[in-house]
Chain A
Amino acid sequence: MKRRLTGPRGLVGFLATAALAFAACGGAVTTTAPAVSAPAASAPAASAPAGEPKLEIFSWWTAGGEAEGLNAMFDVFKAQHSGVDIVNAAVAGGAGSNAKAVLATRLAGGDPPDAFQVHAGLEILTYSPDQYLQPLDDLYAAQGWDKVFPKDLLSLLKYNGHYWSVPVNIHRGNVLWYNKQIFADNGLTPPKTFDDFFKVADALKAKGITPYAFGNNGGWEDAFTFESVLLGSLGADGYKGLWTGATQWTDPRVAQALETYKKMATYANADHAALSWDGAAQLIVDGKAAMFIHGDWANGYFLSKGFAGYGWAPAPGTSGIFHVVSDAFALPKGAKDPQNAQAWLELAGSKAGQEAFNPKKGSICARTDCDQSLFGDYSKSAAADFASNALVPGTDAAANPKWITAYKDVVALFVSKGDVAAAQTALQQACVDAGVCK
């Protein structure tokens, strides 16, 4: 007896349909991570003021110290405003990669949360502030925040003459992390300039030690580290000018930065394309590489690994400059619980709120008057620098999303191809497309 599948046409047709359905489903899976809305422990509804019992906070803080910090702020809020139901509408994904798409859709669709996380600065341009956001000038005046946030930070926060977001924490982007043991064993001191950096790197290379830890598997690390190199090459004002049109990207110092960056890559671990930033940080922990230029969330990583043998210094050529990466909260128009949202922003900018959040998140306060005894050694030194250094914005705070994306793509391609002239032309073109350069 001949065994047969069902009639060939029927099966083929079925399979064709199944494959199409598979393709369609597959395409949709990762694009919209569902909002993880877990209502926090709710107080009895009876005690809630009628009409506004809720507060929906949108962020991308879903794991580790970030989520703990957010919960600590929720606790403070609940202590101050009993009976308000806090809805934590966080969307997972590093640096808000998924959250931003979800939020943009919600704003455009007329379903805004009560307050949402955004990188302080011009990242609000992603959300068309004139149309979708509320300016916060009155709140700043009432809370006296123009006195407790550094001047440079205040000017980063302004767009069209208004404040649009309240910064809750500060991270520093231009930090050189190094393995103390390796430096001591080889009689080296952390480099202050890029010339020093390459001298140190040569000395280490001669000993067979990987001088420079790098990981660019995430796709954003290339452009992020390059900002520190640009800073070292152009200085604070020259760098800021790149984002305002005062400095052209055709400037020879940009070419110099590209050359430096290309040379740095030759000292990096060969498997950098397979590592993300935490993989690179692990090389420092394991003593497999000596130096790592990265944001100070690396500090949290070292602490979480119980590693104490690390030192820090400003990235080469950037002492006296503080590259700011700050998380903030903004207030959308049409928020359903405006009073609670207002209270949340007050808390985010307050001493109590920032002292609750930052020790857990591993960042420092955006205010300059936080109690330093709550923080570790690195954070104390960062806070001192933050109060005295020139503050410059990271790209997320300096440019609109269209420009940032173009800039990131150019640098990512440069790291792989190494064509300085082409990269410089493309960087200038991105600035022209953004309407900033001529």
Chain B
Amino acid sequence: MRRPTRDRLVSLALLAPSVIVIAVFVYGFIAFSGYASLTRWDSLMPDFTFVGLRNYERLFAIPRFQIDLGNIVTFTGLFIPICLIVGFLLAVLLDQRVRGENLFRSIFLFPMAISAVVTGVAWRWMLDPGTAGGAHGVNALLDGAGLGFLKNGWYTDPAIGIKAVVIAAGWQMSGYAMAMYLAGLRSVPQELREAARIDGAGELGVYRHVVLPLLRPITLSAAIILGQIALNLFALVVSMTGPGPGFSTDVPALFMFETTFRASNFAQGAAIAMLMLVLVALLVVPYLIHTFRHEVRA
């Protein structure tokens, strides 16, 4: 065996602290949560009696959890496309070399820099349906614009529920998709566009046959990032709506928090956390494998 070189030793020594910290505080704790989810630990006092998958069985029988799963699927299914579409359209508009592009870019990107709690509180007010006496926020705006028939209960209406949260979340994260797409659009070689035009493509055709295919990797990575944000949704819901009427705005992360820290039912809480991890893994792991293969090939 070759003696390790000095460089190698130094790099190992520099990497070691973060490897150890991540091993303990990320993977170690994931393993501990997994273990806790198989025990009977349902009060402040730890009880590591092994009960197998009983916590998971009970969990799937709880109506609130079933509703949560439906909500998070609805949320993710709306949130990702909305962010991508709005983000792409904004990026295309900004790509037209408009005057004051920097200003607009900042304006659209800033919501992302705001804490989800601030977003939640602001949208809680704006989407407050108002009492019988008068409309507030967006409802008042609709009234004023003569669109009173569009007024509704927003997050207080169980039929809308989580979709009202999508509005706030989409407002916050569309700018992120825009920045990703803008970077992508700028990297599409002008020669390709011109070649397409010479071949007789209209402006739409250029986007459809040249630009969009080249942007596919960006769409993919934006969707993955947005997806994991969606599946871990917590702060926005807590500050904006809470669980909502009939749990219509509830999400697994909120249920996990209440189960663990309000009900002191640590085993059940850990089971919810593990299922959330599985959900995110279903999204992220195929992407990682895909990227890894590309890197190996390259």
Chain A interfacial positions (CB closer than 8 Å to B): 2-8, 11-12, 15-16, 18-20, 22-23, 25-31, 97, 100-101, 104, 107-108, 125-128, 131-132, 216-219, 269-271, 273-275, 279, 283, 288, 400-402, 404-406, 409, 412-413, 415-417, 422, 426, 433
Q: Please give the number of chain B residues whose Cβ is less than 8 angstroms from any Cβ of chain A in the complex.
A: 64
In the complex with contacts A126-B44, A413-B246, A8-B184 CB distance below 8 A: yes
Give A377 Cβ to nearest chain B Cβ, in Å.
29
Complex contacts, A108 vs chain B, CB 8 Å: 44
Complex contacts, B130 vs chain A, CB 8 Å: 271, 274
Assess the B183–A12 pair: CB atoms within 8 A.
Answer: yes
Assess the A413–B247 pair: CB atoms within 8 A.
Answer: yes
Between A and B, 11 residue pairs with Cβ closer than 8 Å are A5-B182, A5-B186, A8-B218, A19-B112, A100-B261, A101-B261, A126-B44, A128-B43, A273-B156, A409-B247, A413-B247
B10-56 contacts to A (CB < 8 Å): 42-45
Complex contacts, B153 vs chain A, CB 8 Å: 271, 273-274
B64 at the interface (CB under 8 A from A): yes
Complex contacts, B157 vs chain A, CB 8 Å: 273
Complex contacts, B156 vs chain A, CB 8 Å: 217, 271, 273-274
Assess the B262–A401 pair: CB atoms within 8 A.
Answer: yes
Chain A: CB-nearest residue to B136: A274
Assess the A29–B116 pair: CB atoms within 8 A.
Answer: yes
Assess the A415–B246 pair: CB atoms within 8 A.
Answer: yes
How distant is the Cα of A229 from the Cα of B52 in the complex, in angstroms? 39
How distant is the Cα of A131 from the Cα of B59 in the complex, in angstroms? 28
Instruction: From B67, B132, B176, B234, give the contact of A27 (CB < 8 A).
Output: B234
Give A126 Cβ to nearest chain B Cβ, in Å.
6
Assess the B264–A413 pair: CB atoms within 8 A.
Answer: no
Give B45 Cβ to nearest chain A Cβ, in Å.
4
Highest count of chain A CB atoms <10 Å: which of B97, B157, B173, B262: B262
Assess the B112–A22 pair: CB atoms within 8 A.
Answer: yes
How distant is the Cα of A25 from the Cα of B232 in the complex, in angstroms? 12
Q: Which of B70-78, B143-151, B196-204, B252-260 contacts A (4 or more CB under 8 A)?
A: B252-260
Chain B: CB-nearest residue to A433: B58
Complex contacts, A26 vs chain B, CB 8 Å: 115-117, 234-236
Assess the B187–A270 pair: CB atoms within 8 A.
Answer: no
Chain B: CB-nearest residue to A130: B45
Assess the B63–A413 pair: CB atoms within 8 A.
Answer: yes
Q: A22-B113, A30-B234, A273-B158 are in contact. List 4 more A-B contacts (CB 8 A).
A: A15-B183, A100-B262, A409-B247, A416-B246
Q: Which A-B residue pairs are the 5 nearest by beta carbons?
A: A416-B246, A405-B263, A101-B261, A26-B116, A273-B156
B205 at the interface (CB under 8 A from A): no
